[in-house]
Amino acid sequence: GNSVTQMEGPVTLSEEAFLTINCTYTATGYPSLFWYVQYPGEGLQLLLKATKADDKGSNKGFEATYRKETTSFHLEKGSVQVSDSAVYFCALLNSNSGYALNFGKGTSLLVTP
């Protein structure tokens, strides 16, 4: 079946540090991959996406590259800010499973000044 595995949190970083949140997936076929973010008190928002192998999604300084050979979609940012503190969810969409998103468990990020 389809599943997503994320690194456990919480992740605590100082402002301007480099961020990596690991995400690996299991799926048949060719899924699309997403990162969603949930800021405190707000709903889930799409952060970035990649729909095929070697695609790089980017938004707000965050990047993730769809690596089919390692079945990974790691989220990176070169210099985090306090405002990036949130919970980050990796998700997979597979047309083989009715177009519903499968989410990872989420990784909580806290950025301190």
Interaction site with other proteins (CB under 8 A): 4, 32, 34, 41-46, 49, 51, 89, 91, 93, 95, 98-106
To other proteins, the closest distance from the beta carbon of 47 in angstroms equals 10
**CB-nearer residue toward other proteins: 12 or 79:** 12
To other proteins, the closest distance from the beta carbon of 113 in angstroms equals 27
Print the SS3 string covering 18-34. CEEECEEEECCCCCEEE
CB-count burial class (<10 Å; 0-12, 13-18, 19+) for 37: buried
To other proteins, the closest distance from the beta carbon of 101 in angstroms equals 6
Among 77, 71, 78, smallest CA distance to 33 is for 71
